[in-house]
Structure 1
Amino acid sequence: MDLTAAGVHHMPLPSRLRGDWRVYLGRARGRNRARRKNVVGRVVTFKEGEVVLLEGLRITSPARTWLDLAVRLDLTDLVAAGDFLVCEHGPEAPVPRRAICSVEELDAVIRKHPGMRGVKNARAALELIRVGADSPQESALRLALYEHGLPEPVLNHILRTPDGKAAVWPDLAYRKRRISIQYDGEHHEGSDQYQKDIRRQALTEQLGWREIRISKDDLVGNFPHAVTKIRRILEQSGWSPATREAS
């Protein structure tokens, strides 16, 4: 069930849930209850295709697992889990990636369970899920910008050299304003990665774009500093908060 299946599918979870090592099992009504230590069972109803076989283990599908998590996760964390499932990058990306499931599959599983607990949260999250976010932090940043009145940045945009060669892959981008946003996670703290980031920023500027670097500290709080930082750069580029123009 939800947390156990989420772990098998490598779905991102908030820290408060990652430490739960219990096994969650679903059972049909009338079946015997799980009576083992650290095993939690509950009665569930599955539709066709919602249980899959993975390395010999019967487990809920990625889409159904996401729906089950809607009871436990807040909106931001549920969007991040959905972003993870639908994320894909084409062959030009430094690390090509195929989606685990599609937005359409998430929509379909919601429609199959209109009265299920958490479905209202799932419907709200579905409206905010986008293809291309590589981490929960990128998802949280995108949602924070939108929540505080900034235009929604695009994902999977590629900066190209004059001859068309792919050169820089922003985490988020405002194409009309030529603003690249890069989230620097903990792996960016090493000296080698730091030098790569400096070269990336220089190349971004050579291509006529401005790069904004965001750290985990910039995402803290209900009004994170990242919002202020990005708003300032947007306004310097000529953007006005009077209109939520497309990015």
Structure 2
Amino acid sequence: MAEARTAGLSRRRTRARDLLSPCHGVRVTALTPDSLLERAHALTAVTGAVVSHLSAAVLWGLPLPRALENLTVIHLTSRPGRRAVRHKHVVGHQQSLEPEEIVSGARVSCTSPLRTWFDLAGILSLDELVIAGDFLLRRRNPLTTLDRLDAFLDGKHGRAGYRHAMRARSLIRADTDSPKETELRLLLIRHGLPEPGINVPMFDEAGCWIQDPDLSYEQEKIAIQYDGGHHASPAQRRSDIFRDENARDAGWRVVVLTQWHLTPVAPGMEPPAVTRVRAALTERGWSPGSVPEPGRRHRARATPDSSDTNGR
């Protein structure tokens, strides 16, 4: 109330209906957007806590399962010596954070991209954690590097979530363009197909660049394109047709997939994406017993702990 009086607000004014109270001691105008950032700003201003876990993931733009994207609760982490925040619509955590694990913005302080991803190890499934990890290392505007990720994990040995994070690390790859590329790659691997390359440049016989297919098998000259919703526009469709014609002229087999191809048509059936890619590989001479040539598969430095059956 002292700050309110200093600002010229009476007790009656602070209780007016056009003001909201996101947490004790804070008043904001009802016209203020009820966004995560605004709510987090109000809460952290009073508690001194750091936005973390799923809330930090949203602020960093990490891809999350649809069920977790629009949660009404906010995750806040208090450092040792301070009690975890207890408030309606708040999930309070108390844990030690290194200085480099906190990023201070204009409105709030939140956990760093790497620390946020590591905290998600206790929340997300293996595939979901890999998708979020690939996003950190995306081709455009990456939030970190593989070396930094590995160095970070080296310092988390034995911590809660470490084993699950290391299992995800063994599957994380850099230079992706979308979460669906990661989902498709994991789907193919899980069904026994060789791991494809990611956005590997394709050239014609004269050495001229053609395109960077989403996924590919260079030896068999198979390009896999995942076409999301934005590919439905007339302009994009024309561009895609031109893209694929040039690849086929260069001797490549092009497999175009959509969201529909990622889900089995009926229980017990394999996803159409797997069936189509397997058929293309077989057509080009691949067989399940084939040994991949060196360099065909990406190698990960981290080795998952086979004893960690629950991944947590």
TM-score, normalised to structure 1, is: 0.90
1:166 and 2:166 equivalent?
no
% identical aligned pairs: 38
Q: Which amino acid aligns with 2:275?
A: T
RMSD between superposed Cα atoms in Å: 1.7
Give the gaps of 5 or more residues in structure 2.
Answer: 1-51, 297-312
Q: Computing the radius of gyration over CA atoms, which structure comes out larger, 1 or 2?
A: 2
CA contact (8 A) 2:198 2:216 kept: yes
1:66 and 2:117 equivalent?
yes
Superposed counterparts of 1:3-14, under 5 Å: 3-14=54-65
Output the CA distance in 2 between the equivalents of 1:33 and 1:240. Answer: 55
* CA apart distance, 1:34: 2.2
1:114 and 2:157 equivalent?
yes
Superposed counterparts of 1:1-247, under 5 Å: 1-88=52-139, 97-221=140-264, 223-246=270-293, 247=296
Output the CA distance in 1 between the equivalents of 2:90 and 2:73. Answer: 6
**1:46-83 per-position Cα deviation (integer Å, ceiling 9, x unaligned):** 13411122335321111111100011111111111111
Q: Which amino acid aligns with 2:201?
A: I
* CA apart distance, 1:244: 4.0
Output the CA distance in 2 between the equivalents of 1:163 and 1:234. Answer: 25
* CA apart distance, 1:105: 2.0
Q: Which amino acid aligns with 1:143?
A: L
Secondary structure (helix, strand or coil) at the match of 1:228 reads helix
Q: Which amino acid aligns with 1:212?
A: V
Secondary structure (helix, strand or coil) at the match of 1:116 reads coil
Could you say if the C-alpha distance between residues 33 and 124 of structure 1 is closer, same or farther in structure 2, counting changes exceeding 3 Å?
Answer: closer
Question: How many residues are treated as equivalent by the alignment?
Answer: 239
* CA apart distance, 1:162: 4.2
Output the CA distance in 1 between the equivalents of 2:239 and 2:207. Answer: 22
**1:72-113 per-position Cα deviation (integer Å, ceiling 9, x unaligned):** 11111111111111122xxxxxxxx23210122222222222
TM-score, normalised to structure 2, is: 0.72
Secondary structure (helix, strand or coil) at the match of 1:141 reads helix
CA contact (8 A) 2:83 2:94 kept: no
Secondary structure (helix, strand or coil) at the match of 1:151 reads coil
Q: Which amino acid aligns with 1:85?
A: L
* CA apart distance, 1:163: 4.2
**1:191-227 per-position Cα deviation (integer Å, ceiling 9, x unaligned):** 2222221111111111221110011011114832111
Output the CA distance in 2 between the equivalents of 1:53 and 1:19. Answer: 23
> Is the deviation greater in 193-202 or in 167-176?
193-202
**1:140-188 per-position Cα deviation (integer Å, ceiling 9, x unaligned):** 1111111111111111211224443322120001000011000011111
Output the CA distance in 1 between the equivalents of 2:192 and 2:290. Answer: 9
* CA apart distance, 1:118: 1.9
Output the CA distance in 2 between the equivalents of 1:12 and 1:244. Answer: 34
Output the CA distance in 1 between the equivalents of 2:171 and 2:72. Answer: 30
**1:123-154 per-position Cα deviation (integer Å, ceiling 9, x unaligned):** 00101111122112111111111111111111
Q: Which amino acid aligns with 1:73?
A: L
Output the CA distance in 2 between the equivalents of 1:56 and 1:165. Answer: 47
CA contact (8 A) 1:70 1:118 kept: yes
Output the CA distance in 2 between the equivalents of 1:125 and 1:190. Answer: 35
Where has structure 1 moved over 4 Å in runs of 4 or more?
none
CA contact (8 A) 2:64 2:128 kept: yes
Q: Which amino acid aligns with 1:235?
A: T
Output the CA distance in 2 between the equivalents of 1:108 and 1:47. Answer: 14
